[in-house]
Chain A
Amino acid sequence: GENVEQHPSTLSVQEGDSAVIKCTYSDSASNYFPWYKQELGKGPQLIIDIRSNVGEKKDQRIAVTLNKTAKHFSLHITETQPEDSAVYFCAAPSTSGTYKYIFGTGTRLKVLA
Chain B
Amino acid sequence: GAGVSQSPSNKVTEKGKDVELRCDPISGHTALYWYRQRLGQGLEFLIYFQGNSAPDKSGLPSDRFSAERTGESVSTLTIQRTQQEDSAVYLCASSPQLINEQFFGPGTRLTVL
Chain A residues near B59 (CB-CB < 8 A): 100
Q: Which of B61-69, B77-85, B91-99 contacts A (4 or more CB under 8 A)?
A: B91-99
B58 touches A98 (CB 8 A): yes
A43 touches B99 (CB 8 A): no
B100 at the interface (CB under 8 A from A): yes
* Interface residues on chain B, number (Cβ under 8 Å): 25
Decide: B99 and A31 in contact? CB cutoff 8 A.
yes
CA distance A36 to B12 in the complex (A): 28
A89 touching B42, Cβ below 8 Å: yes
Q: CB-defined interface of A79-113 with B at 8 Å, one 1/0 digit per residue?
A: 00000000001000100001111111110000000
Least CB distance from A87 to B in Å reads 9
- From 41 to 55 in chain B, residues with beta carbon under 8 angstroms from any chain A beta carbon are 41-43, 45, 48, 50
Do residues A101 and B102 form an inter-chain contact, with CB atoms below 8 A?
yes
Contact check, B98 vs A34: say whether CB atoms are below 8 A apart.
Answer: no
Residues of chain A with a CB closer than 8 A to B4's CB = 43
Task: Report the minimum CB–CB distance from A58 to chain B (whole Å).
Answer: 17
B102 to chain A, nearest CB (A): 7
Bound together, the chains give a CA A5 to CA B86 distance in angstroms of 24
Shortest Cβ distance from B23 into chain A, in angstroms? 11
New A-B contacts (10) at CB < 8 Å, excluding given A31-B99, A46-B103, A89-B42: A34-B101, A43-B4, A45-B104, A99-B48, A99-B50, A100-B33, A100-B48, A100-B56, A101-B33, A103-B45
